[in-house]
Amino acid sequence: MCLKASSSLLSLTILLGVSSIVSAVNINRALEKYPEFSTMTELFNKTELTPIINKRQTITLLALSNDAIGSISGRPEDELKNILMNHVVLDFYDGLKLKAIKDKSTMLTTLYQSTGLGQQQNGFLKCSKTNGKIFFGSAVKGAPQTAEYITTVFRNPFNLSIVQISMPIVAPGLGDPVKVPPPPPMSSPPAPSPKEAADTPAPGPAEEEGYADSPPGAAPETSPASAPETAPESAPSEDGSPAPAPENAGKKKMAAADEAEPPTSGSNTGLSFGAILVLSFVVIFAGF
């Protein structure tokens, strides 16, 4: 019985030892896959926080990109160490758990609070929702909630979670606050391509002088219409009807001549008889 009990106890000890090794946090190994957080890894090593973090069984790291952490990287080492400890939450939170928060705000305990140095709740963080977005900030009364949740970088359920936030959290009493970065500038409309600019004609000197010399409100002068190359050969008639062209007039005269009837034989006989009567009267008067 004693041997069985001893072997069982040994097996349990080995199992617990293996499980603790498997479940232990290794923050450097988790971050080395993401070069955009390399500065934070260097600062953990510089402030000797890496072994302290790795002793924890469950943490959530509020990670800062190399650009975002630049605003605090040059601070004194003790101040920097306290600020970094405030970015290590002693609980597991990933994107799903953060988005499931129903209350207006949730209190989070940080590694800095575990040192016993926290004052006026500057070892706690608040996580709140505003217009569907998630923000973090110090739990000190009146402290701003300006560090926005961006994405979940790494998750090992109930052991290690790394979530990216937009800016450092500096609790009152741990250093000067970090200013909120300005919003990105609005993009300007694209400039026209050189081809389009070349196709657009620029106003000539004459046009520019004309606009400059003319007084405001004056209507632009219009040039007279150019005369036709050939003038009509005949003026229009007085009755307003257009004069016939020469070719058309000749055709009309020929048509009129064709329409006139030639003198008949009866009309010729009448003329001869009249002449005889006149001669007869002349002879009679001459006889008297």
How does residue 150 score in pLDDT terms, banded at 50, 70 and 90?
Answer: very high
46 is a domain residue: yes
Using the predicted structure, report yes or no on whether residue 257 has a pLDDT greater than 80.
no
Collapsed DSSP state (helix, strand, coil) of residue 56: coil
How many structural domains comprise the chain? 1
Question: What does DSSP assign to residue 123?
Answer: T
Answer for the pair 96, 134: CB distance below 8 angstroms, yes or no: no
pLDDT, the chain, mean: 75
In angstroms, how far is CA 233 from the centroid of its own chain?
Answer: 68
Token pair for residue 171? Answer: 């609790």
Structure confidence at residue 260 (pLDDT): 44
Structure confidence at residue 270 (pLDDT): 52
pLDDT tens-place string over residues 46-104: 999 999 999 999 999 999 999 999 999 999 999 999 999 999 999 999 999 999 887 67
Using the predicted structure, report yes or no on whether residue 148 has a pLDDT greater than 80.
yes
148 is a domain residue: yes
Answer for the pair 148, 45: CB distance below 8 angstroms, yes or no: no
Structure confidence at residue 186 (pLDDT): 61
Using the predicted structure, report yes or no on whether residue 134 has a pLDDT greater than 90.
yes
Answer for the pair 141, 122: CB distance below 8 angstroms, yes or no: no
What CATH number does residue 132 fall under?
Answer: 2.30.180.10
Collapsed DSSP state (helix, strand, coil) of residue 126: strand
36 is a domain residue: yes
Structure confidence at residue 243 (pLDDT): 46
254 is a domain residue: no
Answer for the pair 141, 40: CB distance below 8 angstroms, yes or no: no
Structure confidence at residue 229 (pLDDT): 47
**Residue 25 CB partners (closer than 8 Å, separation 6+):** 53, 54, 55, 56, 57, 58, 59, 159, 160
48 is a domain residue: yes
126 is a domain residue: yes
pLDDT tens-place string over residues 158-190: 999 999 999 999 999 999 988 877 665 665 556
245 is a domain residue: no
How does residue 275 score in pLDDT terms, banded at 50, 70 and 90?
Answer: low
CA-CA distance, 139 to 124, in Å (whole number)? 5
Torsion of CA 63, 68, 74, 75, to 10 degrees: -60
Using the predicted structure, report yes or no on whether residue 282 has a pLDDT greater than 50.
yes
Between 5 and 53, where is the model more confident? Answer: 53
Which spans in 136-241 are helix H? 194-199, 205-213
CA-CA distance, 103 to 124, in Å (whole number)? 17
What is the enclosing helix (H) or strand (E) of 236? none
Structure confidence at residue 179 (pLDDT): 83
Domain that holds residue 84: 17-165
CA-CA distance, 25 to 159, in Å (whole number)? 7
Using the predicted structure, report yes or no on whether residue 196 has a pLDDT greater than 90.
no
121 is a domain residue: yes
How does residue 280 score in pLDDT terms, banded at 50, 70 and 90?
Answer: low
Structure confidence at residue 72 (pLDDT): 96
Alpha-carbon radius of gyration of the chain: 56
